[in-house]
Structure 1
Amino acid sequence: MNMTALLLAATVPALPLPPTPAGNAPASVLSAPVAPEGGPAQTIAVGTPVPAQWWREFGNDALNALVERGLKANPDIAAADATLRQAQELARASVGGLLPQVDAGYQASRARTSNTIAPVLADQNVMLYTLHTAQVSLSWSPDVFGGGRARVRSARAAARAQAARADAARSMVVANLVQSAIQYAALGEEIDATRDAVTAYRDVLALIKLRQKIGAVGASDVAAQETALAAIEGQLPGLERARKAQEAQIAVLIGVAPGSSLPPVPRMDELTLPAQLPLSLPAQVVAHRPDVRSAAAIMEGASADMKAAVAARLPSFTLSAQYGGTANTFADMFASGNPFWTLLGGVSAPIFHAGSLLHQSHAARAALEAAQAQYRSTALQAFADVSNALTAIKTDGDALAAADRGNRASADSLNFTRRQYELGAVGTFTLLPVLAARAEARSTWVQARAARLVDTVALYQSLGGGTGQQLGQ
């Protein structure tokens, strides 16, 4: 490549960001789904951004306090903020490379001259002397071909990428905390439902034993009910273990050791399902999602790195100056005849580096292409997350409607069958499936309610989940 071509390559501006892939957004992102029928109705407001403090939409003060504590005390957020400050300081430091550097120095030396060499001082009789030297030096490398400016842009892009990661850390902590609180409450209800089922199984077992005494049923009926009772009792330890795990997760998210006393966690019936959900437009999703903003900043930094790699193959210029004074006494350093000054100018150009500079520029271009592909992938994944969240909300509503019907029907069926059993109209093996169906239906109903709340959180998060310092306001 000749010098003219190199100069042209060096002055090419950084590659622009690829256009926002809004036209590739799935149809489900651009249109509102039908409001689900199960439980409270939810409507979709197309074009509405995500509220900065979206967790307040659930209408619970205990949840709000839990999230605020997590935002202040979570160690992951603290680490992300510290890393952000580091990146910002490095970006500010990179600007100094574009400006002249000024340094000052002072040196004092004490020496004795040998008799066999000419003395350094005018007085031939002085063999022991002191030299004081003070000087100011200035150096500057003009950024003729933009390599220094490209490095500054790269450092600033790295700071913006880290800022987006810090936002992502806040968003993730808030979403995980709200979801953990919902799961904790749901597991509490499942435990209560299972304990109610255990009580019902024990009541039936007592009834069967009473009927056995009068000869109405045999030992097989008692054994069958005892087996069913043991099975339902065996579900409790697993549920309690899962609830303890959620409790430990909440503790970690708010920055305390597991096992510590937790602040109040809301119950399921204390959480209000948001009646209106936001649905950002594709351009808003790309602008608000921290992962997309981070990918865009990384791509911009890769573009700047490629420009810097090209500039490294071009000549570099250096200007420097020195001014100072030297004397055998401190007060005479700048007396008449003692000051000195120097002006230097230089240019250097790479001639032979065994192809390393060329390959470094090729590597920078490959890194840019990888960053562009990663940006497109991240943006498309953002649309997929929104689409999946919308689908989940619709299907959760249908599932909750079915679970609600099943829960009410199972309760009626159990009451009816139990009265029949007490009257002797049906046997034990007719009652047992009804008991099992009742326990399963109630558990499914609790899980369906929790799923609808959790997937509502997932929609908020997929749309960006509140950005920047707004999360802590």
Structure 2
Amino acid sequence: MLAGFAIAASSAGCILTKDLPDPALDIPGGYKAALTKVSDAPPTLDWWRAFRSTELTTLMEEAQRVNLDIAAAVARFRQADAQARITGAALLPTLSGAGSETYSRTSGSSASGLSIGGREVVNYNASLAASYQLDFWGQNRDAAQAAEETAVASRFDREVVALTTLTSVANAYFQVLASQDRIRTAERNIASAERILNAIRDRFKAGTGTDLDVAQQESVVANQRALVPPLRQTLDQNINALATLVSRPPESVRVTGGSLNNIAIPRVTPGLPSELLTQRPDVRRQEAQLAAATANVGSARAQFFPSIQLTGQGGYQSSALSALFQPHAAFFSLVGSATQPIFDGGRILGNFELTQAQQDELLQTYRKTVVQSFADVDNALVAIRQTTIRLRLQRDVVAASLRAFQLSEQQLRAGTADIVTVLNTQQTLFQAEDVLWQAQLARLQAIISLYQALGGGWEPKVERPVDAL
């Protein structure tokens, strides 16, 4: 009997061949905004090391180990693996064993009212039962394949969560550095404004200045001081964000930081758009979900066909334990059945149409994810180029503003400067220096967005050796 089940299990299979639907995508030969050569090295797996910040590297590695979102994603794909095993169990026969001892005693009274001795009966039973649904139409196999593809999608979902976490760590860390730079600049500007205020007060005492001049400069000083609290708030909030990302309370996190000037600017190569399809985890996740939906369509289609079930039971039954396993005590039964749906109120048809619609939805989502991935890379490349240009121009603005401020301060001390000119030059300088730090932060964030658009680091390519002729 067991041999028959094994033969049936090995011969069962899906007679309907299902391939993934063609997404009909237009894959460009290159990125519109790319300037680097394709032969340049792609981003490495530990792409954050290119910024050459030891503290950032430490935070990144810690986040990979202890981040709670990543841990939850790992638990989800473990659930998907278990569900795949549960679903795949339908492909194998079920086997169960049973044993029993039955003791019974008949009544000792007769129909005439006479009392006679009752009869005691002991019966022993040992049996083995097996059942198997012949998966001739592939319903169970398709369901198992759908569960396996869902488990694959869960693994790529973990990669999506990990990439989002790492880019969040990098962005928060650079926000910390930018806040520290802006705070130092604001404090330096406060000192400069107070120096100008003292010079104006000296002119006022000497009778060459007015009380209005003093009040205007006091307003400049107060305005610069008012800029510091929001910057400190941003600093603390980003440190707390880093604490959350590394799963620690804010009180136990110490971020030294430093300056954006100490961060190296990596050169990121986008590669080819066709390579992006195998590198971005969200694209791979959508592809796996589409494969699962396609398998579900096959499983739903198989429900239109008969369900073939094989069941069998065999064992031994005897009233004497010593004779339980004798040949004459053996029994068995084998049943084969087929069930063909005739009328179910449209349930099977509705389920089939539902899975088809779900497959079409995931197909369109997959197409959009691919198209969006190309746009993300181009947007990041444009952002890097434009923020680099902006940073260069802003440095020119700061240099010119600093020279104008220094000249106006010299003229103020010499008594030849117009107070309005002094006010304008210092406010222009203060604003230009603050914008410079924001421009540096924007360029770093653009680089991070490119890493994210590329799917993080890429596995190194293995070059095949060319055999000598």
Q: TM-score, normalised by structure 2?
A: 0.89
Matched, 1:253 2:216: no
**DSSP-derived class of the 2:252 partner:** coil
Matched, 1:105 2:107: no
Q: Which residue of 2 aligns with 1:211?
A: 203
Matched, 1:86 2:86: no
* Letter matched to residue 387 of structure 1: D
State the Cα distance separating 1:161 from its structure 2 match: 0.7
Match of 1:428 among 404, 419, 426: 419
CA offset digits 1:286-335 (Å, max 9, x no partner): 11111111111111111111111110111011111111223345444323
Matches of 1:454 and 1:58, distance apart in 2 = 12
CA offset digits 1:152-181 (Å, max 9, x no partner): 110111011111101111111111111111
Map 1:187-206; keep pairs closer than 5 Å: 187-206=179-198
Q: Which residue of 1 aligns with 2:155?
A: 163
State the Cα distance separating 1:255 from its structure 2 match: 1.4
CA offset digits 1:41-78 (Å, max 9, x no partner): xx564675331111111122222111111100101111
Q: Which residue of 2 aligns with 1:384?
A: 375
Matches of 2:393 and 2:323, distance apart in 1 = 98
Q: Which residue of 1 aligns with 2:5?
A: none
Matches of 1:264 and 1:187, distance apart in 2 = 12
* Mapped contact 1:319–1:345 kept (Cα < 8 A): yes
Match of 1:283 among 266, 274, 287: 274
* Mapped contact 1:47–1:281 kept (Cα < 8 A): no
Match of 2:46 among 53, 66, 77: 53
The 3 A distance-change label for structure 1 pair 299 and 45 is same
Q: Which residue of 2 aligns with 1:135?
A: 127
**DSSP-derived class of the 1:104 partner:** strand
Q: Which residue of 2 aligns with 1:306?
A: 297
Q: Which moved more, 1:397-406 or 1:427-436?
A: 427-436
Structure with more relative contact order (C-alpha pairs < 8 Å, separation 6 or more): 1
Matches of 2:458 and 2:412, distance apart in 1 = 60
State the Cα distance separating 1:30 from its structure 2 match: 5.2
* Letter matched to residue 81 of structure 2: Q
State the Cα distance separating 1:339 from its structure 2 match: 2.4
Map 1:400-411; keep pairs closer than 5 Å: 400-411=391-402
Matched, 1:15 2:6: no
* Mapped contact 1:87–1:162 kept (Cα < 8 A): yes
* Mapped contact 1:44–1:277 kept (Cα < 8 A): no
State the Cα distance separating 1:114 from its structure 2 match: 3.6
Matches of 1:125 and 1:370, distance apart in 2 = 77
State the Cα distance separating 1:234 from its structure 2 match: 0.8
Matches of 1:416 and 1:266, distance apart in 2 = 31
Matches of 2:271 and 2:413, distance apart in 1 = 58
CA offset digits 1:380-401 (Å, max 9, x no partner): 1101100100100110111001
CA offset digits 1:114-165 (Å, max 9, x no partner): 45799xxxxx955344433221111111110011111111011101111110
**DSSP-derived class of the 2:304 partner:** coil
Aligned residues: 444
Q: Which residue of 2 aligns with 1:32?
A: 34
* Mapped contact 1:107–1:133 kept (Cα < 8 A): yes
The 3 A distance-change label for structure 1 pair 440 and 116 is farther
State the Cα distance separating 1:22 from its structure 2 match: 4.5
The 3 A distance-change label for structure 1 pair 63 and 370 is same
Q: Which residue of 2 aligns with 1:5?
A: none
The 3 A distance-change label for structure 1 pair 327 and 442 is same
Q: Which runs of 5+ in 1 are unaligned?
A: 1-9, 34-42, 119-123, 469-473
**DSSP-derived class of the 2:236 partner:** helix
**DSSP-derived class of the 1:189 partner:** helix
CA offset digits 1:5-41 (Å, max 9, x no partner): xxxxx84422324257353x4x8715623xxxxxxxx
Q: Which residue of 2 aligns with 1:236?
A: 228
* Letter matched to residue 417 of structure 2: V
* Letter matched to residue 216 of structure 2: A
Q: Tell me the percent identity.
A: 27
**DSSP-derived class of the 1:15 partner:** coil
State the Cα distance separating 1:447 from its structure 2 match: 1.1
* Mapped contact 2:377–2:453 kept (Cα < 8 A): yes
* Mapped contact 1:22–1:283 kept (Cα < 8 A): no
Map 1:412-427; keep pairs closer than 5 Å: 412-427=403-418
* Mapped contact 2:34–2:378 kept (Cα < 8 A): no
State the Cα distance separating 1:378 from its structure 2 match: 0.6
Q: Which residue of 1 aligns with 2:454?
A: 463
Matches of 2:109 and 2:297, distance apart in 1 = 60
Q: Which moved more, 1:163-172 or 1:129-138?
A: 129-138
The 3 A distance-change label for structure 1 pair 48 and 156 is farther
Q: Which runs of 5+ in 2 are unaligned?
A: 1-13, 460-469
The 3 A distance-change label for structure 1 pair 435 and 158 is same
Q: Which residue of 2 aligns with 1:296?
A: 287
Q: Which residue of 1 aligns with 2:6?
A: none
Matches of 1:236 and 1:83, distance apart in 2 = 44
**DSSP-derived class of the 1:334 partner:** coil
The 3 A distance-change label for structure 1 pair 110 and 435 is farther
